[in-house]
A = this chain, B = another copy of it.
Amino acid sequence: MKRQPIGVFDSGLGGLTAVRELERLMPNEDIIYFGDTGRVPYGTRAPDTIVRYTRQDIHFLRGFDVKALVVACGTASSVALPRIAGDYDLPILGVVSAAASAAVAQTKNGKIGILGTAATIGSGAFSRAIEAEFPSAKLTSIPCPLFVPLVENGRISPSDPVLRLVVEEYLTPMKEAGVDTLILGCTHYPIIAEAIGEFMGDQVSLINPAREAILTLHHLSSLPKNQDGSGSCRFFVSDDPALFSKNASLFLGREVSEAVEQITLEEIG
């Protein structure tokens, strides 16, 4: 049987958290990762623009004959996938529905919080996915536009004073709402899970959508799995590979020893 890879993309580096989970849960699989680092971030852009970029990302990865696609970007999953997933004939897993199901399974008091980029929260995608399974859930959604630049600037320590101040500002209404389950609806946010967890307290469960999406893929019985051999990983970016390699380990949980290849936006268009 032909050995097909799994495609993963994100606007930048955050989606490497999904690669990390893939390597852990499905170590036999080959992975093609595309980070659109030449146009990151997506979360501040308009819906039509996010849809256009997402289509281009999918188009690029389909060129590798992938057997499934993971949209490891909260913004693309929320804003673009509901509009375009039906146009493709392969399994495309976003991070929204898996995270919504996990939150519904996890909550005890029915109060669920959702954090995301401005575009993600504006789309209402997480709320709709949760309400479809749990109509009486009490939801609190808060856009956290400064989290991505903070993470990208390495401000991730729970003792960083700027991060602490921003966490406190964004999450105080979440605490007041009494949520017991909190969706970290952007792939950057698990990187600051410690700071978020310290503020929210131990009794609040944090949901990592990329991890939930990979769990779903792992359990997808219709997906032909590689039974043997060790998986490989190829990385593509639209900005400088050197910038990528420098920061990737934060998300990937290991150093990038593979070559990182640059593509131009013209090539993915």
Contact with B along A120-157 (1 / 0, CB 8 A): 00000000000000000000000001101110110100
Name which residue of chain B comes closest to A155, CB basis: B146
Are B149 and A243 neighbours in the complex by a CB distance under 8 Å?
no
> Given the known A-B contacts A149-B145, A149-B149, A162-B169, are A240 and B38 also in contact in the complex, defined by CB atoms under 8 Å?
no
Stretch at the interface among A42-50, A72-80, A81-89, A187-195: A42-50
A174 to chain B, nearest CB (A): 17
Q: Is A269 an interface residue (CB 8 A)?
A: yes
CA distance A269 to B265 in the complex (A): 9
Contact with B along A235-269 (1 / 0, CB 8 A): 00011101100000000000000000000111001
A76 to chain B, nearest CB (A): 15
Contact with B along A2-46 (1 / 0, CB 8 A): 000000000000000000000000000000000001110000111
Q: Is A161 an interface residue (CB 8 A)?
A: yes
Q: Is A165 an interface residue (CB 8 A)?
A: yes
Name which residue of chain B comes closest to A45, CB basis: B239
Q: Is A223 an interface residue (CB 8 A)?
A: no
Q: Is A166 an interface residue (CB 8 A)?
A: yes
Are A240 and B153 neighbours in the complex by a CB distance under 8 Å?
no
Name which residue of chain B comes closest to A243, CB basis: B46
> Given the known A-B contacts A46-B240, A46-B243, A49-B240, are A162 and B149 also in contact in the complex, defined by CB atoms under 8 Å?
no
CA distance A37 to B53 in the complex (A): 13
Name which residue of chain B comes closest to A265, CB basis: B265
Name which residue of chain B comes closest to A264, CB basis: B52
Select which of B145, B162, B239, B265 is within 8 A of A146 by beta carbon.
B162
Are B45 and A240 neighbours in the complex by a CB distance under 8 Å?
yes
> 14 A-B residue contacts at CB 8 Å?
A38-B45, A45-B239, A45-B240, A46-B242, A48-B240, A49-B238, A146-B150, A146-B155, A146-B162, A161-B169, A162-B165, A165-B165, A265-B269, A266-B269
